[in-house]
Structure 1
Amino acid sequence: MDQLSFDPPAASGSDDPSGQRSGARDSLMLSATLRIAGRSDVTVRIRNLSAGGLMAEYAELVHRGTALEIEVRGIGWVGGAVAWVAEGRIGVAFDRAIDPMAARKPVGRGASTPVYAKPVLLRR
């Protein structure tokens, strides 16, 4: 099936503010839940993450400017909009800045974490 593809906007010389990105992006591979009004929630793979947005693998047709929400581990639900669309990927510009390092914090070792979700530690 054919899919419309739009290349990400160029970072320089563009009048579009979504193409004028700044700040470091953290490359990673992280699952997240993506919610777009009128569609079922889907699991996507985040490929890079910054305070202002992310790039995720998403093969469905979606247009620039489409409002969405994404739940990122360690951060929670964040609102945003599609900034660009390329073959099998989307760029998301967040409505508010986040701490991208919070997504890298370990999970499953807290006192309130159920026993079945904690790693098994063997004593010698």
Structure 2
Amino acid sequence: MRVPSNRVSAPTAVDSTRSTLVALTNAVGLDGLAAASHLPGLRAAVDQHAAAVRESLHGDRRPLTAATLAGYAEGIRSVAEEHGWQPPTDPVYWPEADWVLVRLLAVCALSASLDTPTPQPPVP
């Protein structure tokens, strides 16, 4: 018989990835993607940034996965903060969102696309 351990397990890479993407989605993704659905200019910018993120990951020979997107987003935030960028503390006015926010929003859009199940052919 196995006795349950009282130890708290260390977070896994999957937990870290999920945590990063959930935090990003809560911080910018929910409001930003809702705004993009009503603002064609923002939607176009998000699409362009998403294409650039895909290209960057492809150029580095990294697949488009939740883990690579989480790492990419952390890298963008880290470099931006090193250059003085601060995450917004007030609601974002999306028509005038800065480059960093639109790039992070693109990561959210790509992450959401990963959650879409791939259609499977019918079983005969």
Question: TM-score, length-normalised on structure 2?
Answer: 0.25
Question: TM-score, length-normalised on structure 1?
Answer: 0.25
Higher strand share: 1
Q: Which has the higher contact order (CA 8 A, sep 6+)?
A: 2
